[in-house]
Amino acid sequence: MIHKPRRWDAVCEDDPSAGLLNLFDVWIAFSVALLLALFGYLQNSAPMSHSSNDAGSTPALEELLQSIKKAPHFRPTNAPLTGEGTRLGTAYRLQTGEVVYVPD
């Protein structure tokens, strides 16, 4: 019985485009894995941005959030300041104009 020659049997092993197709497949698989990891990370970090009144929050977290007190807002002046002191931390001015203090 004579078989009809198949197209993939006639493919030469020295075909340079075969390697490019394999690299393209690897790139697509890597991109999909990266997107899945990104979506998984965003879903896990989303509950942290909600308020503490969610049903999933723990009592210890609520107690910690209640113990945090906001510092009063100070308005800068052009008057010279004098005195002695020690460095306590770093202050950053946000794009909104608000100044945030970060202790050392």
The answer to whether residue 102 is domain-embedded is no
Reading the chain (104 residues) residue by residue, the pLDDT tens digits are 677 777 766 666 667 777 777 888 899 999 999 999 999 888 876 555 555 455 556 888 877 777 777 767 767 777 877 778 777 788 888 888 888 878 77
Closest of 24, 22, 26, 44 to residue 34, by C-alpha: 26
Domain containing 28 equals 15-50
The answer to whether residue 36 is domain-embedded is yes
Residue 31's pLDDT is 96
The answer to whether residue 19 is domain-embedded is yes
Give me the helices (H) in 1-104, please.
16-45, 59-67
The answer to whether residue 96 is domain-embedded is no
- Greatest Cα pair distance in the chain: 104
Q: Which helix (H) or strand (E) holds 103?
A: strand 99-103
The answer to whether residue 80 is domain-embedded is no
Residue 52's pLDDT is 45
The answer to whether residue 56 is domain-embedded is no
Q: For the whole model, what pTM was predicted?
A: 0.32
